[in-house]
Chain A
Amino acid sequence: MHIVDRRLNPGGKSLANRQRFMRRAKSLIRKAVHESAASRGIKDADEGGEVSLPAQGVHEPGFHRDRSGGMRDHVLPGNKEYVAGDTIPRPPGGAGGGGSEGSPDGDGEDDFRFTLTRDEFVELFLEDLELPDLAKRRVADTESVSWERAGYSVTGSPSNLALLRTVRNGLSRRIALHRPKPEEMAALRAEIAALDEADPRRPALLEELERKLRRLGVIPYIDPLDVRYKRFDPRPKPVAQAVMFCLMDVSGSMTEHMKDLAKRFYVLLYIFLRRKYKHVEVVFIRHTHQASEVDEDTFFNSPETGGTVVSTALEEMRAVVAERYSPDAWNIYAAQASDGDNTASDNERTAELLIQAILPVCQYYAYLEVGRESEHFPPGFIRRDSDLWQTYAEIVQSGAPMAMRKVNHRRDIYPVFRELFARKHAHAGAESA
């Protein structure tokens, strides 16, 4: 008998099968991922985890009998009262005497549940999306610089001396100029020492020694010409952290449904940023006629009453940016959700704040106008755009890094998000909404 310890065998034996399965069920998994992401909190939205697929999608067919019709026999354990000849009313939902026949082939498969890793999850979730104009703005806005090695130079500070390269240059120069080697000198000296004072060869050898000593003095071991320094070039360092501002109107006119839509959008944005940046912070700012920074739970769940003054939220955001998130060190993204109401007198102030204070520091500003679930108007009746919408539309037309969309239904969120961040036309959609 052998006992073999296999525990240390390399794992991941079925990884190849898993990848094949993922490829096979890609469209189903993608759908499941989107649905599951919507039901999570913002911060743990991209943690990977369990998704469930409809069993039919990855079904493996086989010949087996239909589960109804024809004549069937069942032998069951646990008889208590029946005698031969008794009739039993057919149990609802199909055949099966009393209990159910053992499904011979797993035909009654439930939904197929399995776990995705975080990477798989995000990868599927954000396929072919891209942050708008990321690279361009990044270079313009970043001030932090990293130094990278870029070959050698002949000047530099002693601390950057490239020792190896310097010595190597010296060696090749010494070879090229025939600088006498120490062992040659030693051999010559030994030869002279071995000869008699009166040997006829002695003068010639002494002369040669003399010549070589001179040469040794003229050709230095290391010449300033040999010296090389490591060269460093400055490279602008991409800022690897981002902050995401969630601005939301929480006044009475915002229903639960609207908040839910907003939340879904924030979740998507958060996941998206997480993929691009090492470190993402989220700031929640809610406003009525006054704004305040709150935590996630309060943001979504505690009701407020009051008027609607959007500029207060922008003011608050500006204050937070000034206090904690210097645009040099942070990529700033903002997403605002509102039902579009604003106090009429505030629109001008809002636009001004946005153009002068907010947009210049933001990588991207998204405005999401959330509506009621069933918003329909009588034919011929044209819906008037909201105050906020009109105000923002002007700004967007001027080409600011900003996008706006209207969303009424949960199912629209993801398409809208994809549209905003689709790889090709990052800005094109602003007018079409």
Chain B
Amino acid sequence: MTLATPTRPLFEGADWEFSTVQRAYEAIEQIALGELGLDVYPNQIEVIGTEQMLDAYSSIGMPLFYKHWSFGKQFARNEALYRAGMQGLAYEIVINSNPCISYIMEENTATLQTLVIAHAAFGHNHFFKNNYLFRQWTDANGILDYLEFAKSYIAECEEKHGEAAVERLLDAAHALMTHGVHRYPRPRAIDLRGEERRARERRAYDESVFNDLWRTVPGKSNAHKDPTAGERRRALLQLPQENILYFLEKAAPRLAPWQREILRIVRQIAQYFYPQSQTKLMNEGCATYVHYRIMNRLHEKGLLTDGAMVEFLRSHTNVVFQPEFDDPRYSSINPYALGFAMMQDIARICNEPTAEDLQWFPAIAGKGDEMAVLRDVWANYRDESFILQFLSPRLIRQFGLFHVLDDAEDPHLTVQAIHDERGYRKIQRALARQYDIAWTLPDIQVVDVDLDGDRKLVLQHRALNRVLLDEKDARAVLQHLADLWGYDVVMREIDPTGEQVMKEHSLTPRPGIVRAI
């Protein structure tokens, strides 16, 4: 760095133009691909203004999305916060698609644009392309086409069936969105383009074989009772089923075909975002580590002025700031802070391991090539397993992490573990759990339905640690569920240890909410 470098800086001052972005991109690409060995989708960088950023915010960052009032609400809220100066806008939004689209704000300075390109177009992009969850669960090639299809399909439905009917259906589907995900991978690969094609084919087929006469054919008389019928029925319906939207799409008796298709769309989109919620910490950690390396390297090469470097360090420090638990600014653990710290820590373990590291991380300690180790970590872990595996004692000490147990039956909170020899493992485990989606989302399953009788749908919530659902919201969601199902719905909250029922909610569908006839 002290050597006089003949290279001219990429830019001076805050102003930028398209050629500046191009130059910065090329310099970054050289470092990212050549020196860090990242593997990315082709990039597409889109320059947008404030309003467009707010637009993107309100439709979960996607460039095109179907219409629903909740996005309008989101937009209105963000706009109000932004106009009041209470909330800055993100510098970028990046979309897991191929090509990988990054939005950058026109207001950003040249330094920020460089930072954003390093962070999003290389950091996040590499993570999207390589992490096993994204590879397994999302189809980056097809997502934009699928969204286009979803948007036009829903618009078509609004035209055919009325905005109100579609809105009610989407309300219900959104309420169930968190439980519209297959949690466990199945053999077939996700192919959203094929998905869209199949949807069209299904519709065309339905239309070609439609014959109104079938409606008049008398149904078969009640089949005789079979003692194994219950089990057979559950097997046929693939019960128990944790993907409630999937179950409704396949089995709800009163939904029209277009309604099933919309449930399917909402479910596909939920599925697409499922990996993101499981890799927030790693994803941000990866992107932050990548931009930090790249920016430093650019500065070393003389491509960044000292002023730009200071500006970068200032925003970087803000991003990775972690307030302590007794700080009024504390809300939760900052994924940027912890993620970045862990990535740096891994690099340190690779290069300068201590005796402790050698004992805790024999596989990577002193191995040297930190980028190879990190690339492997980024590809093969999710937040939960990542913390369990790589949260080092040194980091626990540095963050002063401690584990508190809050049992409602106890008048006090108890400190279970702190940053000491006995506590490290416990803290690893407890923190990993906080990032385990199976642990943080309530475990709700469809367990049975009485198809021959009153068609009552039975759900079960296994109340982990005896924590019940928020009653008001749960009833509201169940009401939506009952409307979709068309018959009564009952949910039992059970204590998984003793299997006894702690609480029961039962709801009846409101007439004409989902089906007008």
Which A residues form the contact surface with B (CB < 8 A)? Answer: 1-7, 9, 11, 13-14, 16-25, 50, 58-80, 82-90, 95-104, 107, 112-115
Contact = CB atoms under 8 A, between A and B. Distances in A.
Closest CB pairs A-B (n = 3)? A78-B324, A102-B332, A21-B72
A82 B67 contact: no
Interface in B26-74: 29, 42-49, 51-52, 54-55, 58-59, 67-73
7 contacts: A20-B72, A66-B469, A69-B466, A76-B402, A77-B399, A78-B326, A113-B84
A14 to B, nearest CB: 5
B120 interface: no
Contacts of B411: 90
Nearest to A77: B399
Of listed B49, B330, B400, B473, residue having the most chain A CB within 10 A: B473
Contact of A115 (B80, B324, B404, B473): B80
Contact of A88 (B67, B175, B415, B476): B415
Nearest to A87: B412
Given A7-B49, A62-B177, A68 B79 contact: no
Contacts of A13: 52, 55
Contacts, number: 269
B404 A97 contact: yes
B320 interface: no
Interface stretch (B17-25, B253-261, B368-376): B17-25
Contacts of B399: 77-78
Interface in B174-199: 174-179
Contact of A3 (B45, B79, B420): B45
B75 A17 contact: yes
A69 B416 contact: no
B364 interface: no
Contacts of B81: 113
A6 B47 contact: yes
Nearest to B42: A1
A88 B323 CA distance: 20
Nearest to A3: B45
B157 interface: no
A87 B414 contact: yes
A79 B407 CA distance: 20
Interface stretch (B130-138, B289-297, B429-437, B446-454): B429-437
A70 B465 contact: yes
B496 to A, nearest CB: 12
Given A21-B75, A74-B406, 13 more contacts: A3-B46, A6-B103, A14-B54, A14-B58, A16-B72, A21-B76, A22-B72, A24-B69, A61-B476, A71-B406, A73-B404, A75-B404, A79-B400
Contacts of B84: 50, 113
B405 A1 contact: no
A115 B406 contact: no
Contact of B79 (A19, A58, A104, A115): A115
B52 A7 contact: yes
Contacts of A14: 54-55, 58-59, 71-72, 75
Nearest to A69: B408
B51 A70 contact: no
B406 A114 contact: no
Nearest to A112: B77
Contacts of B72: 14, 16-22
Contact of A104 (B76, B430, B440, B466): B440
Contact of A77 (B325, B408, B413): B325
A355 to B, nearest CB: 51
A25 B179 CA distance: 26
B327 interface: yes
Contacts of B58: 14, 17
B80 A64 contact: no
A50 B81 CA distance: 10
B408 A68 contact: yes
B79 A74 contact: no
Contacts of B68: 17, 20
Given A72-B465, A78-B326, A104-B440, A67 B470 contact: yes
Nearest to A50: B80
A9 B56 CA distance: 13
A292 to B, nearest CB: 40
B98 interface: no
A24 to B, nearest CB: 4
A114 B52 contact: no
Contacts of B414: 85-88
A78 B418 CA distance: 10
A288 B493 CA distance: 71
B418 A97 contact: no
A47 to B, nearest CB: 14
A406 B405 CA distance: 61
A1 B22 CA distance: 9
B239 interface: no
Which of A13, A100, A112 has most chain B Cβ within 10 Å?
A: A13
A2 B22 CA distance: 9
Task: Give the one of A17, A23, A69 with max B CB within 10 A.
Answer: A17
A262 B226 CA distance: 78
A426 to B, nearest CB: 34
Nearest to B411: A90
B331 interface: yes
A87 to B, nearest CB: 4
B476 to A, nearest CB: 4
A355 B263 CA distance: 68
B401 interface: yes
Contact of B402 (A62, A75, A100, A114): A75
A70 B76 contact: no
Contacts of B79: 114-115
A99 B402 CA distance: 12
A373 B501 CA distance: 54
A107 B473 CA distance: 10
Contact of B401 (A18, A20, A23, A75): A75
Contacts of A9: 52
Nearest to B387: A75
A288 to B, nearest CB: 43
A216 B427 CA distance: 112
Contacts of A101: 332
A99 B401 CA distance: 13
Nearest to A95: B406
Contacts of B207: none
Contacts of A3: 18, 21-22, 25, 45-47
B28 to A, nearest CB: 10
Contact of B46 (A6, A50, A113): A6
Nearest to A60: B70
Contacts of A23: 69
A70 B464 CA distance: 8
A73 B405 contact: yes
B51 A99 contact: no
Contacts of B407: 70-72
Contacts of A73: 403-406, 416, 430, 433-434
Contact of A78 (B47, B174, B332, B400): B400
Indicate the member of B75, B179, B470 with the most A CB atoms within 10 Å: B470
B45 A1 contact: yes
Contacts of B415: 82-88
A5 B43 contact: no
B333 interface: yes
A99 to B, nearest CB: 4
B48 A7 contact: yes
B326 A113 contact: no
A87 B488 CA distance: 46
A183 B444 CA distance: 94
A72 B467 contact: yes
Chain B CB within 10 Å, residue with most, of A3, A25, A77, A114 = A77
A403 B47 CA distance: 59
A319 B402 CA distance: 79
B437 to A, nearest CB: 11
Contact of B18 (A5, A62, A66): A5
Interface in B131-149: none
